[in-house]
């Protein structure tokens, strides 16, 4: 027997229970069980409920004992917390495959590499593959449908946890382009689950890829939600780009295990394109790198750069990875620079994405990477690279060369991006490393975890950065024509589609002389009306009409229509017309362009008499 009175809880000893304990509860009347519509919570109880975990467990125990009279609560009040589960047990390998990951080959339309970890010998490491069936399990594949492939490499890595992790790699060859396959890996007895991937198309086809900055820290707690949210947004992504510092300690078995757990099954379905950051080095490259990332050996040729500098042509995009950890090594930097120029000069693909760890323009602190900027920067600009994806600075920064600016919302240069996916954050530096080296910051972010979604189409590349919770942070559109001409357009907002964004070739022009206006930011083929408006009248109307939408309606109705023009495939517009005849010495006008998506004006143009 045990009895309850307000203030006391007595748990009897014996029969496997804990020793008798008396717990003192706050002295307040308990609410009537028959008055459930009017719950009573005293101020004392409110404070108590906000207290320690131990107090909350005590409450739970009281409730459990009261309901039914004999239900058990916690085993003991005040007991020590459970011990931390050892990393050596969490990440210990077994005969069951884990850490399954796809890495691309030089022919991703017809071949695919898969790497995994398992306790098995090279003799037994193998995989099975077949064209993706409608069902498996009780539905057996047709005779001869499954191909068995032996591992081409089995490499043990001595770990910091007292055991070796052995990585096995198979290469599937002779595959069909743009075809879905199902595979599993194992030792012939102990198999992974069946997993699907799709080969690349033989030529250009639209696709999506995901880009992450540094994961590095809080890999087991904060990073997984970023990886999972990105995959939820782009489940059909074909490539994941990691811009270095996947982990914090180069040879930590625990951290590599956490990184693989963060990605989970995603790594076995989507090709991984990673380059090493400074944290993948510790007295040399991480011993894990090459066994688990058997990237193409098509780099500059230096042994140190094997599978850390490489390229992959994938469905119309050339992905180029560089190793920026050798900035103090003149030989290896020069070797990569020459190799990079050759890849850019002889590039059959429409789109080019270059990734390395240390930014051309740093976003945080006093960081500076002059060797990267001086040697690689000019080549990136000269050959019109579309995206440069970087890490290292644990913040977000996106910008371009100042000379590329064409309007308030459009430039035609290389886009440089720095991002972070992990939980370690650095403070922004007001963009000094950008502005001090001829560049400008367009978007920035501090104390944010991000993933980037890039959608590639024939004439357009769409880039969006989102927070870990899925909300939008930044975005832009890159449009490119068959000549290689390009515009980079901010995602439209109500604020950036109005105002003075029309350029004129001259601000003083004689009556009936030609004047040329140009503007950017339209959709391809968008129809634009060109108006002239008396500048003094326009100024007065701006002062009287506060709502721009009302002002545009007024201007659409009362301005003098000059003509219509259609934007080209890059969203550009150029129109030449004759200045009006004037009766006074100097008359002033603004050119006003009105379309579905933009209502923008020029600077004041003065028209003089002949």
Q: Which two tokens stand for residue 523?
A: 């959709």
Alpha-carbon distance 604 to 15, whole Å? 94
Give the number of other CB atoms < 10 A from CB of residue 435.
14
Q: Which two tokens stand for residue 84?
A: 């931390």
Residue 589 β-bridge partners = 534, 605
Q: Which two tokens stand for residue 372?
A: 């990267």
CA 378 to chain centre: 25
According to the model, what pLDDT value does residue 75 have? 53
According to the model, what pLDDT value does residue 582 have? 81
Which residues are CB-contacts of 179 (< 8 A; sequence separation ≥ 6)?
Answer: 131, 198, 199
Specify the pairing of strand 195-198 against strand 207-212. unpaired
DSSP string, 245-302: -SSSSTT-HHHHHHHHHHHGGGGGTSEEEE---GGGBSSSB-TTHHHH----S-SSS-
Alpha-carbon distance 159 to 6, whole Å? 57
According to the model, what pLDDT value does residue 6 have? 42
According to the model, what pLDDT value does residue 239 have? 98
Alpha-carbon distance 323 to 608, whole Å? 59
Report yes or no: 397 and 444 within 8 Å, Cβ to Cβ.
Answer: yes
Q: If the chain, 610 residues long, is cut into consecutive pieces of 10 residues, what is the mean pLDDT of each piece?
A: 41 39 40 38 33 39 43 62 95 98 98 98 98 97 96 97 97 98 98 98 97 98 98 98 98 98 98 98 98 98 98 98 98 98 98 98 96 98 98 98 97 98 97 97 98 97 98 98 96 90 95 95 96 76 53 57 95 95 85 94 91
Distances (CA, A) of 373 to 304, 396, 401, 405, 563: 21, 18, 12, 19, 46
Alpha-carbon distance 291 to 157, whole Å? 8
Pure H helices in 409-534:
432-435
According to the model, what pLDDT value does residue 79 have? 86
Which residues are CB-contacts of 547 (< 8 A; sequence separation ≥ 6)?
Answer: none
Report yes or no: 112 and 199 within 8 Å, Cβ to Cβ.
Answer: yes
Nearest to 408 by CA among 489, 474, 318, 512: 489
Q: Which two tokens stand for residue 217?
A: 């820290």
Q: Which domains does the chain have, with CATH numbers?
A: 86-203 (2.60.40.380), 207-490 (3.60.21.10), 498-608 (2.60.40.10)
Q: What pTM does this model have?
A: 0.85
Q: What is the largest CA-CA distance in the chain?
A: 113
Alpha-carbon distance 270 to 292, whole Å? 15
Nearest to 86 by CA among 26, 11, 154, 162: 162
Give the number of other CB atoms < 10 A from CB of residue 72.
10
H or E stretch at 554: helix 548-558
């Amino acid at each position: 027997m045990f009895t309850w009175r307000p203030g006391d809880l007595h748990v009897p000893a014996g029969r496997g229970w804990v020793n008798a304990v008396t717990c003192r509860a706050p002295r307040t009347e308990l609410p009537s069980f028959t008055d459930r519509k009017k719950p009573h919570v005293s101020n004392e109880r409110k404070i108590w409920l906000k207290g320690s975990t131990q107090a909350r467990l005590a409450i739970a125990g009281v409730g459990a004992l009261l309901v039914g009279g004999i239900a058990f609560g916690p085993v003991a009040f005040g007991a020590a917390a459970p011990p931390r589960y050892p990393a050596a047990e969490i990440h210990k390998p077994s005969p069951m495959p884990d850490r399954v990951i796809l890495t691309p080959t030089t022919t991703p339309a017809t071949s695919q590499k898969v790497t995994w970890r398992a306790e098995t010998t090279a003799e037994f490491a193998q995989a099975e593959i077949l064209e993706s069936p409608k069902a498996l399990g009780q539905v057996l594949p047709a005779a001869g449908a499954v191909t068995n492939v032996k591992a081409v490499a089995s490499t043990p890595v001595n770990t910091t946890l007292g055991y070796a992790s052995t990585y096995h790699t198979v290469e599937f060859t002779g595959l069909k382009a743009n075809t879905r396959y199902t595979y599993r890996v194992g030792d012939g007895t102990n198999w992974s689950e069946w997993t699907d991937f799709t080969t690349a198309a033989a030529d250009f086809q639209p696709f999506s890829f995901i880009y992450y900055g540094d994961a590095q820290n809080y890999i087991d707690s904060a990073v997984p939600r970023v990886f999972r949210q990105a995959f939820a947004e782009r489940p059909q992504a074909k490539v994941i780009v990691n811009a270095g510092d996947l982990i914090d300690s180069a040879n930590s078995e625990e951290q590599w295990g956490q990184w693989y757990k963060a990605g989970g099954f995603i790594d076995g379905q989507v090709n991984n394109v990673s380059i090493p950051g400074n944290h993948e080095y510790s007295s040399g490259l991480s011993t894990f790198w090459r066994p688990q990332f058997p990237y193409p050996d098509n780099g500059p040729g230096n042994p140190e750069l094997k599978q850390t500098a490489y390229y992959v042509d994938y469905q119309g995009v050339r992905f180029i990875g560089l190793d920026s950890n050798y900035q103090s090594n003149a030989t290896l930097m020069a070797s990569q620079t020459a190799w990079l120029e050759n890849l850019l000069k002889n590039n059959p693909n429409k789109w080019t994405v270059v990734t390395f760890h240390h930014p051309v323009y740093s976003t945080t602190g006093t960081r500076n990477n002059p060797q990267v900027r001086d040697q690689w920067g000019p080549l990136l600009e000269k050959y019109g690279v579309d995206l440069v994806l970087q890490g290292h600075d644990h913040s977000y920064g996106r910008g371009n060369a100042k000379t590329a600016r064409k309007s308030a919302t459009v430039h035609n240069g290389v886009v440089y991006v720095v991002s972070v996916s992990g939980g370690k954050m650095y403070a922004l530096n007001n963009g000094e490393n950008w502005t001090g080296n001829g560049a400008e910051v367009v978007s920035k972010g501090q104390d944010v975890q991000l993933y980037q979604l890039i959608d590639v189409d024939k004439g357009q590349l769409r880039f969006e950065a989102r927070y870990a919770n899925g909300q939008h942070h930044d975005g832009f559109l890159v449009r490119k024509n068959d000549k290689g001409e390009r515009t980079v357009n901010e995602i439209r907002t109500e604020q950036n589609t109005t105002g003075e964004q029309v350029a004129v070739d001259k601000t003083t022009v004689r009556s009936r002389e030609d004047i040329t206006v140009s503007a950017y930011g339209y959709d391809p083929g968008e129809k634009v009306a060109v108006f002239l408006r008396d500048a003094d009248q326009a100024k007065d109307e701006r002062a009287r009409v506060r709502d721009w939408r009302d002002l545009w309606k007024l201007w659409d109705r009362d301005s003098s229509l000059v003509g219509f023009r259609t934007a080209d495939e890059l969203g550009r517009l150029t129109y030449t017309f004759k200045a009006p005849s004037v009766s006074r010495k100097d008359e002033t006008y603004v050119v006003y362009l009105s379309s579905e998506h933009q209502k923008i004006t020029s600077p004041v143009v003065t028209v003089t008499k002949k």
